[in-house]
Amino acid sequence: MARLFSALLISCFLFGSIFTRNIEQYEDSDRLGGVIEALINATLNTILGRVSDPIYIESLNVNLSADALNGNISISKLNLYGIKDLVATYIKSDIFNLQTSMTLINPEITLEAEYDINVLLASLVPFYGAGKISTTIANTNVSFAGKANISNGLSFSNVTIGFTVDDAKFSVTGVLNNDELSALITEALNDNVASFINTYEDVISSLISSAAEEIINNIINGNSTEEIYSDTLSIINDAFYPVLSIN
C-alpha cells in the first residue's frame, strides 16, 4: 500500500511539473553559476506554462500483484488541484561539477476522484467498495538533488528526490458499502498518512527517485502532454514491476 500511495502521489506530482514563483535571490557566488541557475529557473517556468489546473485524468486502472495486496483498483474522474502554486524557494548549482539542489514548497494540493476497488488482503480477506475519495495535503516540502547536464539543453542525472508534508486530510466513502467503516478508514488515514510519509521519507525517496529522474527529464524535453502522461505510466510500471501496473 505504501508503494501504491507513493507511486500515485509522485506521478501526479511530477506530471503537474514545477512552479518557481517567488524564488529566493541567488547567492552572489559566480556569474556562471548564476547563469546555470537562471537556465533551470527559466526552464521550470516554461514547463509551468503547459500545466492546467486542475489536472484531469478520465480513468486509471491499477493492478496489484503482491502477497499483501492483490487485485484491481479503478480510478475515474481524477482532478488534481494546486500544482500551479508550487514555489521554488532555493536553487543552487555548483559551477565545477554542476551538482544542483533545489527546495520547492506547495501550500496545498487537493486530489478528488471516484474509485472502485476489489482486492484480497494477505490473499485471504476480500476488500471491496465503490465511492469517492479526496485528500488535501498541506505544505508539501520537496527536496531535489542531482547533476545538471547543459551540453544539449537541460537534463538531470543521479537524482534524489524526497518530500515531507505538514498534514494530509482525507474523505472516503463506499468502503465495503458501509458508511461507518468508511468513516473509520477516513479517520485512520487522517491520523497516520502524514506521519507515515515523514517517518519513511528516506524509504519513499529510494523507491521514487529513479522513476522521478526519468519523468523530470521527459517533462524538460518538451514532450506533449499525451506523451508525458504515457511515458510517466511506463516509467512507473517499469519501476514497480511486477508488484504494480497502471494503465
d(CA 84, CA 89): 14
Which three three-digit cell numbers place residue 133?
A: 475519495
> How many structural domains is the chain composed of?
1
Assigned C-alpha cell, 166: 505538514
pLDDT in tens, the chain (247 residues): 445 445 544 554 444 443 344 444 434 444 445 788 888 888 877 777 777 889 999 999 999 998 888 999 999 999 999 988 887 889 999 888 999 999 999 999 999 999 999 999 988 899 999 999 999 999 999 999 999 998 888 899 999 999 999 999 999 999 999 999 999 999 999 999 999 999 999 999 999 999 999 988 988 886 677 777 788 888 888 877 778 788 8
Q: Give the Cα separation of 100 and 224 in Å (integer).
A: 26
The model carries a pTM of 0.80
Rounded CA gap, 181 and 184, in Å? Answer: 5
Domain housing 100: 2-240
DSSP 175: B
Question: Which residues are bridge partners to 134 per DSSP?
Answer: 112, 171
Residue 93 sits in a domain whose CATH number is 3.15.10.30
Q: Is residue 117 part of a domain?
A: yes
Backbone angles phi, psi at 183, to 5 degrees: -65, -40
DSSP lists the bridge partners of residue 126 as: 120
Rounded Cα distance, 102 and 89, in Å: 8
Q: What is the DSSP letter of 39?
A: H
Report residue 77 as a C-alpha cell: 474522474
Contacts 24+ apart (CB under 8 A), 173-176: 173/131, 173/132, 173/133, 174/115, 174/129, 174/130, 174/131, 174/132, 175/129, 175/131, 176/127, 176/128, 176/129
Which grid coordinates are listed for 186? 477516513
Dig out the grid coordinates for 27 from the structure.
547567492
Q: Is residue 81 part of a domain?
A: yes
**In DSSP terms, which residues pair with 141 in a beta bridge?**
105, 164
